[in-house]
Structures are given as C-alpha cells and as structure tokens.
Structure 1
Amino acid sequence: MRSFEFESWDAGRVQVNKEFAPILSRNGLRTFDALMNYSGGQTAKNVLAERVTTRIDLDDDAGRTHAFYIKRHTPAPVKEYLKAWSRFRKPLLSARFEWEAILNFHAVGISTMIPVAYGERGRYSFLVTESLEECSKLSHWVRDENPDEEQLEEVVKQVAEITRTMHRAGMHHQDYYLGHLMLARTATPRTIHVIDLGRVLKRPRLHSRWIVKDLAQLNYSARMLDQKYQRVFVEHYFQRPKEECDRSLLNRIEQKTEQIARHSKRHAL
C-alpha cells in the first residue's frame, strides 16, 4: 500500500507528485500548456488520434536520465460519447479516470504505475507516469522465457490474488489481458504491475457481469497455458476447491471466453 503527496500547479490545472516536482521544474514543465504541448520524446502508442502516449526522457539536477510516459487526451469524436451513452455508460475519455484508478490501486496494495502528474482543461487532459523499467508483459514472459512449473504456479497465484483484491475493492479493469500485466525481471519476489487503467471503474457493489468479463479476458489471453493452471487460478481466486465453486459462474466465464475468441478471430485481433 503506497500513498503520495501532491502539489497543485498552474492555478489548479496540474497535480504533481511532490517526488517528481524538481525534475519537472528543471525541465520547464510547470504548466498545463508546457506538458500538453511538449514535443520531445518518442511515440509509444498511437492507436487513436485523440489519445497518444509518448515516452520522454528527462534529466535531473545530477545529470541522471529518468524515463516517463505522457498520455495526452484531445477531444474525442462525438460518436465515442454516443457509443457510451447508448450503452448507459459513462464516457471514459479523460486522463482523470486513469489517474484516479492508479491512486485507487495503490490504496488497496495493487502494484501499478507511479503517478507523476495529471492535468485537465476542458476536453484536453494528460497523465504522466514513471516508466516501468526491467519488466516484461506476462504474455511475452510465458511465450519467450519458458518458465518452469513452479514459476508458473507462483505467478498464477499472484495474478489470482491481485484480481481478487481488485474485485473485492469494487474495481474492474475491462481490458484485463496478460499483456496488461507487467512482471518485474529483476526484483525478488517478482512484482506484477497492472497497467492500462484507463477504463477501470470503481463501484459500490461489483456486479458479477464485470467479474465475468475480467476473468474471461484473462482466461482467453492465458489459453496457451495448461488447464491445470486454470484450476490453480480458480482455487486461489475463489479461496476454495474448484468443485465447490459456483458452477453457473464458471460456465458464464467459459461462455464469455468463447465469445471473446470468436470476436478476436472475426476481427483478426
């Protein structure tokens, strides 16, 4: 569980983690405009024109270089609002939602990105996080590292505990695939960080449909693993033998997994 202290800059338009205030100040990034319009760095993700993520390197007073990611939101097309409203859902089109999710994850002890700065003005917003260095996506780790049974079981139990903690806190991810779980390559024990929290929602009471969606996404992305690891996950997540788990709920997870598989095949995802 980790907490942070923040400073308010630029007439309240920017919130800054005090730990990173000196390096942002040193690099002239003290205002909303300076951060929103920063032209340095390399594009890391540009799937949507209205939401672009850039990796930036900044030097501190001692000459050390630190890596960050800045995700900038510009006004989304009207259709994105209509799509959300047509499903009776809140449009999640601001960096504020991911900023709040990051803080909520840290508050319940789930490791994720370190928040550096957040700013919002009208329909424009940004989020800055510290880069997670020396980490691998779990999907790549499983595919490329050839982990042994003991390592796999340990990681599966960790993921189950993270997922259980998230759901017990009333939060659901909505993009809960192995590619959004980062495994530290050097730390002992090997920490798992949950990333891409832009669609995370926190609810007073988490309906089973959202639990099913998260677990089905995870199940689909872990389909390359032996079925015995599915049992390990289920029993650790539900804290009981698989035979004593809610059979109807498990069936719904399997049905949703198959639905995701059909959708992915149809759209070549």
Structure 2
Amino acid sequence: MNLDQTSDILEIPDSWRQGWLKEKPFVKLFALEGKLYRHKDGRRTLQFEHEGKSYFAKLHHGLGWRRFLKSLFRLKWPISGAENEWQAIKLLEALDIPTTPLVAYGRRGTNPVNKQSFIITKDLDNCTSLEDFGREWPVKPPSPELKRALINEVARITGTMHRAGLNHCDLYICHFLLELENGRVLNPKSPILHLIDLHRVRQRRQLPRRWQIKDLAALHFSSFEIGLTRRDRLRFLKIYSQAPLRKVLADNPQLWQAVEKRGQAFYREFKRRGPR
C-alpha cells in the first residue's frame, strides 16, 4: 500500500509510546483484537482492554476507489477517516458538552482512498443510552424531577451545538449516554449525559436550516416510544431556544412544523424497515 508518510500524525499517551506501541504503532493498532461492534465500509469498531482498562477503537482503512468515486458522483465529499470524530470531540469539549474521552488519535497518509487513521476513546462502561433508560417509561415513568432534568440537558446540549454551527447528523436518543452509579442516577437534579458517535459531525459558520431540522427531527422521532407528553416536548423547545415558549412558537412556526413532518416521516420509515 502506497501511503504518504510526510503527514503522519500520532497522538498517544506517553506510557503507550514508551511501552506496547514503542515500535510499529500503526501495525500493532490495526491488528488489535477485541469485541467487534462494526466492520463495514473500511471501518472496524471494537472494544479492547489494555492493562485492566477498557477502550473503544475505530480503525479506518480508507474508502477504496469505488466508495470514493460514488461519493463524488453524488456531489458529496466523503468522510474518509477518524479525523472528523477527533476534531468533533475537541469541539464539544470546548463547548462544555460531555462526550467520549479522547485517548489517542493517529493518521498515516492523506489520500482518502487508502489512508489509515484511528481514534481510541475511553469506554463509558458506567453509562446507559437514553433509549435503553427510557424504554420502560410508558409503564414505569421516572420521577418528574429526573425527567425534567434530562429533557433540560438534552435541550442544552442540542441548542449549544446548533448555536455553534455544529450538526450531529445522527442525533437519536441512543447517542446520549447517561452516567449511572450502581445502576442509578447519582444526582437526579443534575444528570450527566455524554453525546457520542460523532464521526459525521459537521461545523459551519451558521447551521443551515435543513441540518437543524434533520437533527431535531431525529431526536423527536427517536423519543416517540418513551412516553413523553406534549408538555415535555414544549419544555424542550423552550430550553433549546433559550426564549419564552410563546415567543419560540410565534417566531418559528415553520421550523417546528417541518421538524414534526420530518420526524413522522422518520418514524414511518423506521416502522417499515425496522432497526438497522
């Protein structure tokens, strides 16, 4: 494989640099074995352990000419490696949005067809997704205090991200991880949520309306089956928009109508095709 060696990047902990990755780090990292979560489209995602600690690795092997040209024919520049997620983690941290703690990142080569790149993050093994946490809410609702706090935090994270020009592209409730201690929320008044799966995050000077709608509709549809009320959803709008509810609804009726319409379309498609 002909890789451009002039732009190699290797950001790893010093203990790893002096230890198990002292020689041939890329070779060793791309030979990692562990619990495989995904192996598709040139990317392998796995959980592994090192010195008693658990980590997640995303190993990108390049797009290949077929996928690269397919993206270009669709007038889209493809996301071809771990750089996007690496940058997104740093952006979210700067915005005070908890995410997966970054441990290591590397890139070898620049050609999207055949470059290698990886990102390693800590395993948030003390967390559960909001999708799983809310699965029983229709029959076993949480305390009003906890539900309000979770809605407020999802709205804060989403609003902060959108005002900074960031969109997630896959903003479903399964990508919000709730910190637990011994299976319980430690502080129901101030729960900690981590936003994950950032490989498609994009940043622009100002977030285009269509990407705002897509994110909000994804959140809306993915929460259809956890028993949220109209009052809960209005609370989200108020916190997300940082404005009185009356003003939010009066100023942007077309936005919320578009979100509702797109959310319903997502839900119909989900019911037709089932989980991917």
- TM-score with structure 2 length normalisation? 0.83
Aligned counterparts of 2:236 and 2:258: Cα–Cα separation in 1: 16
Q: CA deviation at 1:47?
A: 5.2
Q: Which residue of 2 aligns with 1:26?
A: 19
Q: CA deviation at 1:102?
A: 0.7
Matches for 1:187-206 after TM superposition, within 5 Å: 187-188=186-187, 189-206=190-207
Q: CA deviation at 1:68?
A: 0.7
In the alignment, is the contact (CA less than 8 A) between 1:136 and 1:183 conserved in 2?
yes
Q: Which residue of 2 aligns with 1:6?
A: none
Once superposed, which parts of structure 1, at least 4 consecutive aligned residues long, lie more than 6 Å away?
none
In the alignment, is the contact (CA less than 8 A) between 2:149 and 2:191 conserved in 1?
no
Q: Which residue of 2 aligns with 1:233?
A: 236
Which of 125, 132, 136 aligns to 1:140? It is 132
Q: CA deviation at 1:169?
A: 1.1
Q: Deviations over 1:98-152 (max 9, x none)?
A: 1111111111111101111111223221111111121010111111474222211
Q: Which residue of 2 aligns with 1:151?
A: 146
In the alignment, is the contact (CA less than 8 A) between 2:175 and 2:197 conserved in 1?
yes
Aligned counterparts of 1:109 and 1:236: Cα–Cα separation in 2: 16
Which of 36, 41, 44 aligns to 2:34? It is 41
Q: Which residue of 1 aligns with 2:112?
A: none
In the alignment, is the contact (CA less than 8 A) between 1:27 and 1:58 conserved in 2?
no
Aligned counterparts of 2:11 and 2:136: Cα–Cα separation in 1: 37
In the alignment, is the contact (CA less than 8 A) between 2:7 and 2:108 conserved in 1?
no
Q: Deviations over 1:199-240 (max 9, x none)?
A: 000111211111111000000011122222111101111123
Aligned counterparts of 1:142 and 1:129: Cα–Cα separation in 2: 25
Matches for 1:166-205 after TM superposition, within 5 Å: 166-186=161-181, 187-188=186-187, 189-205=190-206
**Paired residue total:** 251
What is the percentage of aligned positions where both structures have the same residue? 30
CA change 1:150–1:238 in 2 (3 A) is same
Q: CA deviation at 1:155?
A: 0.3
In the alignment, is the contact (CA less than 8 A) between 1:177 and 1:218 conserved in 2?
yes
- In the alignment, structure 1 residue 264 sits paired with structure 2 residue 270: yes
Aligned-partner SS, 2:107: strand
- TM-score with structure 1 length normalisation? 0.85
Q: Which residue of 1 aligns with 2:100?
A: 113
CA change 1:24–1:53 in 2 (3 A) is farther
RCO comparison, higher one (Cα < 8 Å, 6+): 2
| RMSD across aligned positions (CA) | 2.1
Stretches of structure 1 lacking an aligned partner (at least 5 in a row): 1-9, 60-64
